[in-house]
Amino acid sequence: MSDADSLKVPFTKPSISQEEEQCVLEVMRSGWLTTGKYALQFENDFSHFMNKDESGKIRQNREKEGLSSAPVISLAVNSNTSGMILAMEACGVAPGTAVITTPYTFVSTAACARHLGADVFFADIEKNSYSIDVLAVESLLKKDAASFKPRIKAIVPVHIAGNVCNMQKLCALAKQYNVKVIEDSAHAFPSKTQLGYAGTIGDIGVFSFYVTKTITTAEGGMVCTRDQELAKRMTVMRMHGMDRTTWDRYTSPRASWEYDIVAPGYKFNLPDVLAAIGCCQLKRAESFFEKRSKIVQKYNKAFSTLDFVQLPPDGEGNSWHLYLLRIVPEKLKIGRDDFAKALQKKGIGISVHFIPLFHFTYWKSLYPDFTALNFPNAESAWSRTVSIPLWPDMTDEMAEEVINAVIAIGKEYHV
Ligand SMILES: *Cc1c(COP(=O)(O)O)cnc(C)c1O
């Protein structure tokens, strides 16, 4: 990978303004650094964001699908990974059970099930998108239900790049087989659909505020659910299994040392220093989204005239976290790796999302059938995909640089 400073267009860069700096200073000087009023504020603001458009139409659509239209509850956590562990734990994922997800994700999605002692049943992605294949999910559920002791507790779709999976069908299957839906929404803030925002459609949704994501707290995440029981369990497990939050212990009239431990919980809370950044970023989320969308339009317009690349899949309500450019191997003398290297050589930052999990030592040794051959769509998508720069503060000139680099490489290596 080239040194980011030597690149003309970095792959990504967080947009941090004076407001974020000011908020962090305020927290620093307040005397209360860890989870407190800013974390609470961030949760409330996030819930407000998710609930604000849930008027007639979305509510009706949800009810028609038999989905809850109770208000969204948000719980701030220190990463998406932590949030996924809380979500799975609350859904009964434990030794002897299993979850369904896809090999086309960041490794933490699947690793969380392993942390809880459960197995992962993998379903391939669809042929023309990066979304989990509903038919593959159904066949895993069917087989599991027919077994002596069904093990599947949850389906875990991943909204790759912010492009939302087929939630209507996945939720219907979950209902039919009595399992939960946990959305890995690390990329999908804000992806607005007719059933509500991604991450609020299934039983639980988990967002990431890692530094590369659509909004950031440096490290952090948010868990959303409309189910009060799930929210309660996750709140307790987020903080050592305590029946009281730290903030409550120091601000309520009950003695601060008094608490009970009801389970062996985790330590997954988001400190106020980071939550304060989140409050500012959340206010800017829609403007970030608009800026990314403009760059996407520019890219789409330029690339749609080229025969050696394919535009990213774009379903309903894409948050456009990433721009996944797919090369058309028949039209080029070089493969994805060399295409990516050529972009870097021209000063364009790139990344690859994601190396399918069956390529990793741990995962392929865990499940002998977990091979590229058995997941042809994930393998094919991965071998053609490169992520190009897409971030809110990118200038028009930077977008032009990227476009020109792609065009030049196409000219040089066209068959
Ligand atoms: C970034 C990412 C995660 C992990 O998020 P963290 O906040 O770093 O734990 C999980 N899933 C996907 C798809 C991601 O891209």
Cβ atoms of 307 and 331 closer than 8 Å: yes
pTM exceeds cut of 0.85: yes
Task: Give 252 or 349, the one with higher predicted confidence.
Answer: 349
Is residue 3's pLDDT more than 60? no
pLDDT for res 2 = 46
> Catalytic: which of 192, 213, 294, 298?
213
* Atom number of ligand 1 nearest to Cα 160: 13
CA of 106 relative to ligand 1 center, distance in Å: 6
Q: Which residues pair with 99 in a beta bridge?
A: 120, 154
110/141 Cα distance (integer angstroms):
17
Ligand 1 in reach of 101 Cβ (< 6 A): no
The mean predicted confidence, pLDDT, of the chain is 96
- How far does the centroid of ligand 1 lie from the alpha carbon of residue 307, in Å? 32
Q: Is 108 in the pocket of ligand 1 (CB under 6 A)?
A: yes
For the chain, give every domain's residue range: 18-283, 286-413
Q: Which tens digits make up the pLDDT trace of 170-186? A: 999 999 999 999 999 99
Residue/partner pairs of 46-54 with CB below 8 Å, 24 or more apart: 46/74, 46/76, 46/222, 46/224, 46/278, 46/282, 47/71, 47/72, 47/73, 47/74, 47/224, 49/190, 49/197, 49/282, 49/285, 50/74, 50/196, 50/197, 50/199, 50/200, 50/224, 53/192, 53/196, 54/196
Question: Would the pLDDT of 229 be above 70?
Answer: yes
Q: Which fold has domain 286-413?
A: Aspartate Aminotransferase, domain 1 (3.90.1150)
- 267 closest CA partner among 73, 90, 34: 34
| 18-283 topology per CATH | Aspartate Aminotransferase; domain 2 (3.40.640)
Strands (E), 47-87: 73-77
Q: Is 346 a catalytic residue?
A: no
Res 374 pLDDT > 80: yes
**Burial (Cβ within 10 Å: 0-12, 13-18, ≥19) of residue 156:** buried
- CA 3 / ligand 1 centre spacing (Å): 23
Q: Residue 80 and residue 186: Cα distance in Å, rounded?
A: 7
